[in-house]
């Protein structure tokens, strides 16, 4: 029994001092920052983090050139291989001095990489398992295709890995090759007492005392299947060992710089579809570049890296405030070279604005009369007016809006869009509504035959995230050097431009026009009015973007002689930026400003003094109801006298419901985060409460009939485990679920109610 126990103890002891195990322990003890990247990636792949925005699906369902196939996984695997090599390089640079025996082995970095396999291999295995489960359960992918796709991932990762190791095989040197020391390689030979090198004599160093930073290793992997004992290096002068590591660090730094240069070059050729890699690959690329820059920084500056990094960060942060260094994102079509629009100290109701409102109201009434003549009246003498309100929610809301409008308009025999007066909302919903409105305009002008063709839902559901993610990874984070000319002006090319380009490509460039292109069709009531309302970050107001003069929506009239003076909530874009070519604003830029979700898309800076930064409309009015109610209020007398009823048709992501979350036990982190987290989480629900009050008040001051119809992507009957994530990428399964949502019982009933109201 004792010999067995002795063997077990000896095995455990050897296992403890096995190089891969020691490396894993070192990572957890000294390299927490390196592990953060892996923690994030594991969380994504295991679907523990980022589900609300669909980030895990980017890894588990990668799309390349419009398809999820072997090549998309091949690209994903190659980017994963690049990240693994970046991790190996960064780890080697930081940790190699702790293992001086590496200086005596052939190809030190290669050996280090072989032994530092536990985390990368664990991630690859985890990814393959999770990918199989996801594809098998949530997609219609056959197991043969799953196997081929998995092979693509492994081949891509393996290819990049082997390519990198080939480089290090040629440049990585040990102590014997670097200094020309000629000794036998067997570890059990008598230690060399004196070594003569280039006329210098290196004295033997005592083995009894090792530096505190040195970690004892007894065995290591010479290749994936062979274990060898670690050679003792205490008899070498430390300067020799350090010189070996410096040489290998330099080789690693050169490799890092080469990879960064390649990534930048890829960014320069991003117009070529071949280089538009999957969105998840962009995440790997971002992590790769961050790791490489960090390791190169450590190589050059050593112990000074942290203080110099802090100084460098503060300097760059200060310089980024200047236009020549940190370029702001711009709205394409606007003139930023002319004198900026000055924001007055007060925008209160005055005589001049009263004249403007009177003129704009007159034009609005003229357009309403044209709408009345064109609208379908059914069996009545008066038409039904429809206000279309669409909610945000990324690409799923865009696809849902198009699918819902196709179904509802078809069920109403084409009368829905004809009777729609105003379209408002935010983010993805406005993307889909803008696309559908343009298709309707083309249908009425005879340019297309079938408004309900499935091609349009397929187009609007195409990926928008890949181009954005790749631009963020290879250019936006570092240097935005490229510029692009749009119209008469030049702009910095960043992920905002890539988003608009991808949107135009997906929709067949039918939205590639200026804002003013819709002025005449809206005035003639050939198409519904559309008002975008992005939020001003600086003060919380809204920018109302429309080709029509709509000053009546931006004023808060107060009776003469009252003490109270209310501040206008909204700014009329076209009038305020008239001198900055507001009418030449690209329509896709208006869409983008309304759909600018933080970090995914950059906030847009407008040419004003002081500068106004705008982003997603959903922060103030996710459902577009505030603008619609305000329009109804202003023209309430005409609408009540000239319409049979008013229908608020809301196409939304989720149904209205209470969701009171409570915990019997709350952790410290939950207690700390819940105050702010709950406010953000309930932001849209708070808007629902406010909107219900607005409708209640509207019913009291509007003399006509008011109806409210909802089409919900996720009604109560929708299984909770089928909630679709919010991002600019959809899986094939998500697309299928969105298209089928119109057939849910609640939505069928809503369409029937809509038909009844229209037919009366």
Q: pLDDT by residue (tens digit) across 125-142? A: 999 999 999 888 877 778
Q: How many CA atoms lie within 13 A of 232 on its CB side?
A: 15
Q: How confident is the model at residue 609 (pLDDT cuts 50, 70, 90)?
A: confident
- Across 498-523, b (16+ Cβ under 10 Å) vs e yields bbbbbbbebbeebbbebbbebbebbb
Per the model's pLDDT, the better-predicted residue between 504 and 467 turns out to be 504
Q: How confident is the model at residue 623 (pLDDT cuts 50, 70, 90)?
A: confident
Per the model's pLDDT, the better-predicted residue between 714 and 564 turns out to be 714
* Residue 174: per-residue pLDDT: 46
Least Cα distance to 735 among 19, 222, 63 occurs for 63
* Residue 694: per-residue pLDDT: 85
* Residue 270: per-residue pLDDT: 66
Cα–Cα distance for residue pair 743/755, rounded to 1 Å? 16
Statement: residue 324 has pLDDT above 60:
no
Statement: residue 560 has pLDDT above 60:
no
Residues 6+ apart with CB under 8 A from 666: 674
Mean pLDDT of the region 362-375: 94
Statement: residue 562 has pLDDT above 70:
no
Statement: residue 18 has pLDDT above 90:
no
Q: Which of 71-80, 207-216, 285-294, 349-358 has the lowest mean pLDDT?
A: 207-216
Both tokens of residue 318?
Answer: 């200060």
Q: Which of 64-73, 297-306, 341-350, 393-402 has the lowest mean pLDDT?
A: 341-350
Per the model's pLDDT, the better-predicted residue between 148 and 16 turns out to be 148
Q: What is the mean pLDDT of the chain?
A: 80
- Residue 613, H or E segment: strand 612-615
Q: How confident is the model at residue 348 (pLDDT cuts 50, 70, 90)?
A: very low
Q: Which of 107-111, 225-229, 254-258, 735-739 has the lowest mean pLDDT?
A: 254-258
* Residue 522: per-residue pLDDT: 95
Over residues 259-279, the pLDDT tens digits come to 667 666 666 666 677 777 888
Per the model's pLDDT, the better-predicted residue between 400 and 682 turns out to be 400
Look at the chain and count its residues: 760
Least Cα distance to 253 among 301, 292, 309 occurs for 292
CA distances from 356 to 351, 352, 360, 554 (A): 9, 6, 6, 11
Mean pLDDT of the region 32-59: 85
CA distances from 331 to 57, 384, 509, 604 (A): 30, 36, 18, 6
* Residue 248: per-residue pLDDT: 55
**What's the burial of 397, exposed, middle or buried (CB within 10 Å: 0-12/13-18/19+)?**
buried
What are phi and psi for residue 676, nearest 5 degrees? -80, -40
User: With contact defined as beta carbons under 8 Å apart, do 631 and 553 qualify?
Assistant: yes
Statement: residue 207 has pLDDT above 50:
no
Statement: residue 670 has pLDDT above 70:
no
Cα–Cα distance for residue pair 694/630, rounded to 1 Å? 10
Mean pLDDT of the region 52-70: 82
Residues 6+ apart with CB under 8 A from 85: 160, 161, 164, 255, 288
Name the pTM for this structure.
0.83
Q: How far apart are the first and last CA of the chain?
A: 93
Mean pLDDT of the region 512-540: 93
Statement: residue 568 has pLDDT above 50:
yes
Q: How confident is the model at residue 590 (pLDDT cuts 50, 70, 90)?
A: very high
* Residue 195: per-residue pLDDT: 34
* Residue 565: per-residue pLDDT: 56
Per the model's pLDDT, the better-predicted residue between 139 and 610 turns out to be 610
What does 18-47 look like in DSSP terms, one character per residue? BHHHHHHHHHHHH-HHHHHHHHHHHHHHTT
Cα–Cα distance for residue pair 38/54, rounded to 1 Å? 18
Residues 6+ apart with CB under 8 A from 247: 173, 178
Return contacts of 718-722, CB within 8 angstroms, 24+ apart.
718/744
Mean pLDDT of the region 598-627: 87
**What's the burial of 559, exposed, middle or buried (CB within 10 Å: 0-12/13-18/19+)?**
exposed
Residues 6+ apart with CB under 8 A from 452: 406, 409, 410
Radius of gyration, CA atoms only, the chain: 32
What are phi and psi for residue 173, nearest 5 degrees? -130, 150
* Residue 476: per-residue pLDDT: 64
Over residues 741-752, the pLDDT tens digits come to 999 999 999 999
Mean pLDDT of the region 360-373: 95
Over residues 150-205, the pLDDT tens digits come to 999 999 998 888 877 776 666 555 444 444 444 334 343 333 333 333 333 333 33
Neighbours of 443 (CB within 10 A): 16
Per the model's pLDDT, the better-predicted residue between 682 and 425 turns out to be 425
Over residues 463-486, the pLDDT tens digits come to 888 788 777 776 665 556 678 888
Cα–Cα distance for residue pair 626/634, rounded to 1 Å? 12
Mean pLDDT of the region 350-354: 69
Most confident of the following: 228-242, 433-447, 485-499: 433-447
In percent, the amount of the chain with pLDDT more than 90 equals: 36
Statement: residue 714 has pLDDT above 60:
yes
Least Cα distance to 105 among 196, 227, 195, 211 occurs for 227
């Amino acid at each position: 029994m004792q010999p067995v126990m002795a063997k077990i103890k000896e095995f455990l002891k050897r296992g403890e001092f096995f190089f891969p195990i020691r490396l894993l322990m070192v990572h957890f003890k000294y390299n927490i920052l390196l592990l953060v990247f892996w923690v994030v990636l594991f969380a994504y792949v295991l679907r523990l983090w980022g589900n609300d925005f669909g980030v895990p699906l980017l890894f588990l369902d990668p799309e390349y050139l419009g398809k999820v196939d072997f090549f998309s996984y091949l690209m994903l695997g190659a980017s994963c291989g690049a990240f693994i090599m970046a991790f190996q390089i960064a780890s080697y640079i930081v940790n190699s001095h702790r293992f001086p025996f590496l200086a005596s082995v052939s190809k030190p970095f290669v050996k280090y990489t072989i032994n530092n396999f536990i985390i990368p291999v664990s991630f690859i295995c985890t990814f393959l398992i999770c990918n199989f489960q996801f594809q098998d359960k949530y997609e219609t992918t056959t197991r043969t295709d799953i196997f081929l796709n998995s092979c693509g991932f492994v081949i891509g990762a393996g290819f990049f890995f082997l390519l990198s190791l080939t480089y290090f095989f040629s440049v990585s040197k040990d102590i014997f090759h670097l200094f020309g020391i000629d000794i036998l390689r067997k570890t059990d030979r008598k230690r060399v007492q004196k070594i003569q090198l280039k006329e210098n004599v290196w004295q033997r160093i005592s083995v009894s005392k090792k530096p505190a930073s040195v970690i004892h290793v007894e065995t290591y992997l010479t290749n994936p299947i062979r274990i060898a004992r670690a050679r003792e290096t205490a008899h070498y002068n430390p300067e020799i060992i350090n010189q070996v590591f410096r040489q290998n660090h330099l080789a690693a730094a050169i490799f890092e710089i080469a990879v960064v240069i390649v990534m930048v070059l890829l960014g320069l050729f991003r117009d070529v579809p071949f280089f538009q890699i999957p969105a998840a690959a962009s995440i790997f690329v971002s992590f790769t570049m961050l790791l490489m820059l960090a390791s190169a920084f450590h190589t050059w500056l050593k112990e000074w890296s942290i203080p110099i990094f802090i100084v460098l960060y503060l300097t760059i942060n200060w310089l980024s405030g200047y236009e020549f260094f940190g370029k702001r994102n711009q709205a394409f079509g606007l003139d930023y070279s002319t004198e900026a629009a000055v924001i007055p100290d007060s925008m209160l109701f005055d005589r001049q604005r009263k004249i403007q409102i009177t003129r704009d109201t007159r034009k609005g009434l003229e357009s309403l009369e044209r709408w009345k003549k064109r609208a379908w009246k059914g069996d009545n003498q008066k038409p039904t007016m429809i206000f279309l309100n669409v909610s945000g929610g990324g690409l799923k809301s865009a696809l849902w809006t198009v699918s819902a409008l196709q179904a509802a308009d078809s069920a109403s025999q084409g009368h829905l869009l004809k009777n729609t007066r105003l379209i408002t909302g935010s983010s993805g919903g406005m993307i889909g509504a803008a696309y559908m409105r343009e298709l309707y305009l083309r249908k009425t002008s005879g340019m297309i035959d079938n408004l309900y063709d499935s091609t349009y839902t397929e187009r609007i559901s195409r990926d928008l995230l890949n181009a954005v993610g790749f631009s963020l990874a290879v250019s936006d984070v570092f240097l935005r050097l490229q510029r692009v000319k749009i119209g008469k002006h030049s702009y910095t090319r960043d992920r905002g431009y890539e988003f608009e380009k991808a949107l135009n490509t997906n929709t067949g460039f039918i939205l590639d026009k200026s804002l003013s292109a819709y002025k005449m069709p809206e005035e003639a009531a050939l198409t519904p009015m559309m008002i975008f309302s992005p939020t001003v970050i600086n003060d919380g107001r809204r920018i109302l973007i429309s080709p029509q003069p709509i000053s009546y929506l931006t004023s808060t009239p107060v009776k003469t002689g009252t003490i109270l003076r209310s501040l206008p909530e909204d700014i009329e874009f076209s009038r305020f930026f008239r001198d900055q070519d507001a009418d030449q604003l690209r329509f896709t830029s208006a869409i983008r400003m309304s759909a600018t979700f933080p970090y995914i898309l950059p906030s847009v800076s407008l040419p004003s003094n002081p500068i106004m930064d705008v982003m997603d409309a959903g922060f103030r009015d996710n459902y577009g109801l505030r603008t619609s109610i305000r329009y109804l209020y202003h023209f309430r007398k005409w609408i009540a006298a000239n319409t049979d009823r008013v229908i608020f048709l809301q196409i939304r992501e989720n149904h209205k419901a209470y969701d009171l979350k409570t915990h019997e036990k709350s952790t410290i982190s939950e207690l700390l985060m819940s105050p702010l987290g709950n406010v953000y989480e309930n932001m849209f629900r708070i808007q629902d409460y406010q909107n219900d009050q607005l409708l209640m008040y509207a019913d009291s001051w509007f003399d006509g009939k008011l109806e409210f119809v909802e089409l919900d992507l996720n009604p109560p009957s929708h299984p909770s485990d089928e909630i679709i994530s919010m991002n600019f990428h959809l899986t094939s399964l998500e697309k299928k679920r969105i298209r089928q949502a119109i057939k849910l019982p609640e939505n069928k009933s809503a369409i029937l109610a809509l038909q009844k109201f229209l037919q009366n």
